[in-house]
Structure 1
Amino acid sequence: MTPQLAAGVGLWRRTTDGIEVLLVERTKHRDLSLPKGKLDPGEALPACAVRELEEETGYRVTLQAPLGTSEYRLPTGQDKVVYYWQAELRDRDPAHAFAPNDEIMALHWLPLAEAVSRCTYEHDAVLVRRLAERIEAGEADTFAIIALRHAKAADPYMWDRDDASRTLTSRGERQARQVAPSIAAFGVQSVLTSTAVRCRQTVAPLAAVAGLEPRAVRSLAQDTYMGRGDRLLRRVTKALRHRRTTVLCSHLPVIPVIVDAVATATATPDTPSLHRGAMLHTADFTVLHVGGADGRVLAVETHGAPH
């Protein structure tokens, strides 16, 4: 039986009395847990986490580094896997006011230690402890560099014009629309794209969702990137210096160069997760979470368009 997938958020805030984390009290079960919910059809996990948090609590946030997963068996016998992200609440005013409903009867902002003890389920307590450890280590406040491979494009062997003019297929257009909300969930502030048509078309839905104007740059283009590696590194370094969450949309041969540029600029040691993050299928994107006292890559995750 295919596992049921869900996504949630470890939402925390700074107060004059210290750090607090949000637990929700469910109406039916009367338990205390981190906010979460099931995926909608055609939805990807990061978009689900943001949507479910807003629906359950009224808060709309920017996702930061992944917090972990919890796995358990439902009464039906089906396995359930929940993916969580951490997020700091910066805007104290919710997107809409919370009112008790059939799903959530109350919101509880609790000090970290109290939240651990009051979690109904141990898997939630484990995640709250992990969040507390990251906050204490100064590793909870992160931003991201996101490497995005363009969506499915027309077959190059059937294309009778120059390669850069290849357009997305109908499947590629659908992929671009599907990944846009999940990329936007990480609080994108800048979108850079290859000058190729297929890349510019891929970021168009994201730009609309995020309210940004993409910038086409030659250093991300497949036919010119090899001679512009220094320019690409400078662009990555600038985004890192300003702590600006930036999307770089490019081609299969360029994605490893982007990942390597982030690792180089942050002095992050080579790891298997970086290698995996550089091997993307069409419309896949890798999120490189940067933070900590030394500004290194703290987490790497890869997502794509739902099948």
Structure 2
Amino acid sequence: MNTQAVPDVSGEFDFSDAQFKVIAQLAYENFGLDLQPAKRSLVYSRLTRRLRALRLPNFKSYLDLLTGPDGAAEQSEMLSALTTNVTHFFREKHHFDQFRDLILPEAIKSARNGGRVRFWSAGCSAGQEPYSIAMCVLEACPDAARYDIRILATDVDPVILARAKAGLYLSEERDSLPADHKDRMTIAADRPGEFTLVPEVKNLVQFGLLNLVKEWPVRGPFQAIFCRNVAIYFDKLTQARLWSRFAPLLETEGMLFIGHSERISGPAISLFNSTGITSYRRNAQKAEMTSKTEISR
């Protein structure tokens, strides 16, 4: 193995192949991140910021921290540094159009008849996705608070999850909202240049910390699951397992929405039927045949 140290342009830190391999293994085992050698320079540039913030002299000290008895907290910081949390309200609008047209009418009808309605934003980032789902729900059912309707929003990154719970956004982010939503569903925040969502939107969303490559304390069934631009960080095997685990959690005719550059793969292909651009309906017959042992791996 070539362990020659590769400094950055400033010569500030050395970063060997062996050190990169340890970080890549930690990221894969704990979070499912697929850090191939081609991403080494990105890993280096992102993590040097952590070394500076922690006032560490070198990557050896950083690895000692990551692998030490108190390493879990820094591993979460590492994850936050290595992933990109860029999103906006109603991103990939065609998904929300399908959600409104194909899912909400029956879901709202069920709720009004005393049924349980659940939606899941798996990988909710800073919260724009689950809050967009909530706005769709309120648009279709203004009195949603009277019924058993909830949106579960989860993320593996506690830093970004805290931002999502706070629900504070820069004023320019209102531009991605439909015109009528800007007035009815947002309010000015305490700090100038920021806004937040009205309580009716926020109260529909419940946030939780969840690692998609570990066990899920999630039961379902869900009428819709949004898991968009999350699987791009995983290798093909981890992606295939993820899609297969979603299928049994969806209600009959429930839908899965994934990212624009993602595709259902592996055994899960038979568990879903495509309904448009990166949107899928559960194949109920096939999903029921998926063994619990297989989907829990």
Alignment TM-score, normalising by the size of structure 1:
0.27
Q: Looking at secondary structure, tell me which structure has more helix per residue.
A: 2
Q: Looking at secondary structure, tell me which structure has more strand per residue.
A: 1
Alignment TM-score, normalising by the size of structure 2:
0.28
The structure, 1 or 2, with the larger RCO (C-alpha pairs under 8 Å, 6+ apart) is: 1
